[in-house]
Structure 1
Amino acid sequence: NLYFNRTFKVILTKISSFTLISNLSITLNGINRPILAYTVKPRMGLTITDFGKLYTEAAKAKIDIVEDDERLIDPSYCRFENRVETLMELQESYDSIYSANITGSLENARKRLDFAAEKGIQMVKLDVLVSGFETLRQIALHIRDNYDSKIAITVYPDAYHAYRKLSRKFILKMARLCGADIIYAGSPNWARYEQEDIKMMDSLAPVFSMHQTLSKDFERAKFIKKSLPT
């Protein structure tokens, strides 16, 4: 428990657009409140046994989503297929949904998705700046055509500052257009670094602006589904 508490990290989501995303609502068992997610840390070095213990602790704490870190894909000490099999067996005893990281080339991402789907996965994670927007789009179409849109996609744009200088807002909009269900939209500047004289509302305003990019209708394309911002 001490280890779990020390590495615990939560993401609270705004509920403003949540009830409008019907398929995601079904995936999350009809939850109509902010959801609580946990990205397993440390991101590297955990064996499958370690990972399973952390999932169990999080599930006992009633965490809604327990997900792979965006950098944990298929290392030799925690293989993707073995990890998915173990976590899906554990999920049978709890309500916490496991989200498996399928990041990679389109071929590898699709292969991982299909394997996880066979095991009953309800949610997968993709680092869109590693796999690419076209891979995200193709994965979303694959889920629509083969799994009746019943598997949700969480997108994390890792290290976006270093990636061709694309703005976060552009990345969020592109990820939404390509089919992401949940997208990490950024944190206020005091969330990760200690700073003095922070005006909380001023620092939250840019985050809320990013959230609106995901939750508001596009003026000329109101049919585009909303994405849940975290």
Structure 2
Amino acid sequence: MEPNNNEREDRLSKLPEAVLQHILSFLDMRIVYETRKLSRMFQHLWLTIHSLHFDQVFQASLTKPVPVKGSNLRFTDFVENVLKARIHNRDDNVVLFHLVWNELCDSSLFKSFINTALKLNVQDLDLQFVPKNGVFELPDNLFTSKCLKSFKLSKGVGGLKFRVHLPDNFSLPELTTLHLGFIEDSFEKFFSGCPYLETLSLEEC
């Protein structure tokens, strides 16, 4: 006899919170957000996930937008609302922030997302995007982060090589892993501020 929906939900809800958090940490945040409908315990669990994945291509492939505060929001609005919720929840323990944005992105909004991730003490920053005009300026506080251990920066699908504006001096004392993809002529500056770099990956640089 097939178990009914309530029985399946009860089994899932009885899993330890740490196990549920681990499972959800592999999913796009849009899916994680939807789990709040499963049961009462899931209503706030999405706010405790330490790996935040936002994939604009994946989210666009879903059949309906995610309602946040009762309205249908675009990808950027969803990212912004999730980050605001994490700040409001006073959760400053985000391990991974992974953002894939394959449309021409608003640089000021993109920098705002990164700034918020840094406020949440992100350790692993993975960014794929298509900058306007082939040049992108990262926020200055990224280059003074004492929490960042891994940084990946590359173009989104369909984008071209781009340049990154870097400050003259910076220090990333905890950074051990660096991946740069499709960046023109500025990547060498990264090395000077990363004294403990262990793993370096360059793709079409």
Going by fraction, where is strand more abundant, 1 or 2? Answer: 2
TM-score where L is the length of structure 1 = 0.36
Select the structure with the greater relative contact order (CA < 8 A; seq sep ≥ 6). Answer: 1
Return the index of the structure with the highest Cα Rg: 2
TM-score where L is the length of structure 2 = 0.39
Going by fraction, where is helix more abundant, 1 or 2? Answer: 1
